[in-house]
Amino acid sequence: MRARLVIPGVVVAALLVAWSAPASAGDLGGQDSSSSVQASGGTLTVEAGHTYWTPPANSSWASGAQSTPPSGTPNPNQPYGCTYGAGGPSATAALGVGGPEPGQWVFPDCRGPGVIDPMPPFWVSGATPAAATVQVDPVVVAEQAAKQLGLSSPIIEMAPPDGSAQLVGLASWLWVDSGQWRPMSASASAGPVTTTATAVPTKVVFDMGDGASVTCNGPGTPYNPSAPNATTDCSYTWPSPGTFTVTATIFWSVTWSAVGAAGGGDLGVQAGPPATVTVTVTESQAVNTPASGSD
């Protein structure tokens, strides 16, 4: 099995015995010969907790990083498919400084016939640290997307109309504008992650202002005066007269999905912004008129 990445402490020093062989015909700048080989430039990146060296473009090291053998006549000693793991301070402590500073030991891991297993490290100086990749929690991005949904306050409708008096003992129809009863979506991005939050209306709750509330599992049925026999499952019968502030709130079931990261799921039920309207409730007065000829 090939060595990969950092080989700590005494193990690194012991393996130097195996890295004193002459360079092979396909040697990438001498990387098969001994630990005295040096390189410069390139970029250091951190992936999954390990540091890797990306060699300068057009260098023999970059050629060795190709996933397939070089074109032309096959060289049985030509390494290819190489990755270069940086050893960091622990390798320097075990092996000492191998060249100009700042620098560090890099451990190649290559494929190809004739490759030494493990291959010797070499000293790389002047590599540019790449900007650290921030691990973005997609749930946090999804919550940001949910804040951008732009849920609007419902438009309250009633029958009798909210500008007219409601009557004690008579059911008042309640509904909200059905155009607002539709899914809403919004997206947010952070680094490589883009999430989309989708809100679906599930219910509207009317706080009637007198201590009672009505929950409707839909927008409600608009009252149609030309259909006197129509019914609704979203109404309220006032028990007493007075002036009341009616508040309507739509509740939304919010889910999310992500691109650029694994994840997706449920953000729960969220309340949208409420709307209010003031109504006056009166009692219908009956007038008794004496019959003709009576005392």
| Residue 2 counted as domain residue | no
> Which pLDDT score is estimated for 4?
39
Which of 110, 129, 148 is the last residue before a domain boundary?
129
State pLDDT tens for residues 3-31. 334 333 333 433 333 333 333 333 454 44
Q: Based on the domain organization, do 98 and 165 belong to the same domain?
A: no
Instruction: Name every residue whose Cβ is closer than 8 Å to that of residue 211 and which is 6 or more positions away in sequence.
Output: none
User: How many domains are contained in the chain?
Assistant: 2
184: containing domain: 138-282
Which of 75, 98, 129 is the last residue before a domain boundary?
129
Which of 95, 129, 163 is the last residue before a domain boundary?
129
| Residue 63 counted as domain residue | yes
Q: Looking at the DSSP assignment, which residues form a beta bridge with residue 89?
A: none
The pLDDT > 90 percentage for the chain reads 40
Tell me the pTM.
0.54
Q: Based on the domain organization, do 234 and 267 belong to the same domain?
A: yes
- What is the band of 262 on the pLDDT scale with cuts at 50, 70, 90? confident
Q: Based on the domain organization, do 113 and 213 belong to the same domain?
A: no
